[in-house]
Amino acid sequence: MAKAAETTRVARILDIIWRIDNAPRRWTRKRLAEVFEVSQRSITSDLEIIRHGLRFDLRSDRGSGYYFASVPRLPAVTYSVQEALALILAAQAGRQFGGVPQEELSAAIARLTSVVPPELRSIVERFVSETTGRDDPHRERVLTICGEAISSMRSIDMEYAAASRDGEVLNRTVDPYAIFPYDRSWHVIGYCHLRDDIRIFKVDRIREARVADQTFTVARGFDLAAYLSSGWGIMRGVDSPVEEVVLRFRAPSSRWVSEETWHPTQVLEWESDGSLRFSVTVRVSPELQRWVFGHGSNVDVLQPDHLRDWIRAEAMAVAEQAARDTS
């Protein structure tokens, strides 16, 4: 427990440094204590470590928050080979989404590669050179704005093109909670003032964005993992209830499905005939519908009935379209 508490404190101190560096004069002891849900005394102790232990030139003026007189540089960090390889792989995975500054990412990967033993370095360097990301200035700019807003706990004013309604562009004010990658893109999750609800926004659909003056606090009790696990993927069936979905897969789909963790609530049961019974508790979203439909005749929908009805109607529509195309 002591080691876990120490790790938590180190992470908090690094987070405090990052926040102050990204939003000078904004972060007071009171505001930091509220964000990290600790006492102001704990924050004071953390700030003393930053000022005297790490020797960062941390200052504050009366009536404003903390700032650094000079931009701090974090002390050197050493990694084990396993840690370095894990970070290299994670960085390479991030490249596939685009929007991450490639020059900075390449520099970080090069530093990590330098700690790998010589006998492995050539393999890692070849892997890195063969998997390069693509430049995406718009995505990079929007990600930077969103990161700045999250670090300073300020809202974002954006022009957003909805996936529905023929891409209608609406002005929205969003309190951004987190940024995460999904399906080769980046997404922002936060409270939407227009819809008065927590929503997910695809970064590529944000036409314009700026950090607003107004501040926000994360909704009490909000948990990103719990929010995402209520659905399948990130598309929300906001009017759909969370319900049990039961499917029966036959080979080869049964083998493919059994090899992955598709959802935290999934339960897999092999039946005597070699088929796989797959149960999951989620909202039935368009993503789940398409995933089931993609397995074609190798899957039976045991429940719910409305998902089975959708699969049947979609299959008939595809068959009718194919008949028209060949006639």
The token pair that represents 15 in the structure block: 């987070």
**Is the Cβ–Cβ distance between 210 and 145 less than 8 Å?**
yes
The pLDDT assigned to 268 comes to 97
**Domain shared by 122 and 142, yes or no:** no
The token pair that represents 251 in the structure block: 């080979």
Q: Is residue 73 part of a domain?
A: no
DSSP string over 221-251: T--HHHHHHTSSSS---TTSPPEEEEEEE-T
For residue 229, give every residue at least 6 positions away whose Cβ sits within 8 Å of its Cβ, in sequence order, or none.
263, 264, 265, 282
Residue range 19-67, pLDDT digits in tens: 888 888 889 999 899 888 889 999 999 999 888 878 889 999 888 899 9
* Last residue of one domain, picked from the residues 91, 113, 130: 130
The pLDDT assigned to 1 comes to 45
The pLDDT assigned to 180 comes to 83
Out of 77-86, 113-122, 127-136, 239-248, which region has the weakest mean confidence (pLDDT)? 127-136
Q: Is residue 211 part of a domain?
A: yes
* Last residue of one domain, picked from the residues 204, 229, 254: 229
**Domain shared by 141 and 223, yes or no:** yes
Q: Is residue 110 part of a domain?
A: yes
**Domain shared by 172 and 219, yes or no:** yes
**Domain shared by 225 and 254, yes or no:** no
Over range 230-255, report the average pLDDT. Answer: 82
d(CA 301, CA 280): 12
Strand partners, 159: 171, 208
Looking up tokens 């068959």 gives 319
The pLDDT assigned to 235 comes to 63
Q: Is residue 235 part of a domain?
A: no
The pLDDT assigned to 311 comes to 95
Q: Is residue 90 part of a domain?
A: yes
**Domain shared by 221 and 184, yes or no:** yes
Q: Is residue 238 part of a domain?
A: no
**Domain shared by 321 and 252, yes or no:** yes
Residue range 71-123, pLDDT digits in tens: 656 566 666 767 777 777 676 666 666 666 666 666 667 777 776 677 666 66
The token pair that represents 243 in the structure block: 């319900």
Q: Report the candidate in 195, 197, 194, 191 with the shortest Cα–Cα distance to residue 217.
A: 191
> Can you give the CATH number for the domain in which 168 is found?
2.30.30.530
Considering its fold, how many domains does the chain have in total?
A: 4
> Can you give the CATH number for the domain in which 38 is found?
1.10.10.10
What's the DSSP call for residue 276?
Answer: E
The b/e string for 86-107 (b: 16+ C-beta within 10 A; e otherwise) is: ebbeebbeebebbbbebeebee
Strand partners, 208: 159
**Domain shared by 60 and 86, yes or no:** no
Over range 136-158, report the average pLDDT. Answer: 88
DSSP H or E run through 38: none
Give how far the C-alpha of residue 237 lies from the chain's centroid of Cα atoms, to the nearest Å: 19
Q: Is residue 237 part of a domain?
A: no
Peptide bond into 304 cis (omega under 30): yes
The token pair that represents 152 in the structure block: 């300073």
**Domain shared by 302 and 254, yes or no:** yes
The pLDDT assigned to 254 comes to 95
Domain interval for residue 272? 243-326
d(CA 186, CA 292): 24
**Domain shared by 211 and 265, yes or no:** no
d(CA 248, CA 270): 10
Out of 141-145, 165-169, 240-244, which region has the weakest mean confidence (pLDDT)? 165-169
- Residue 55: strand, helix, or coil: coil
Q: Is residue 75 part of a domain?
A: no
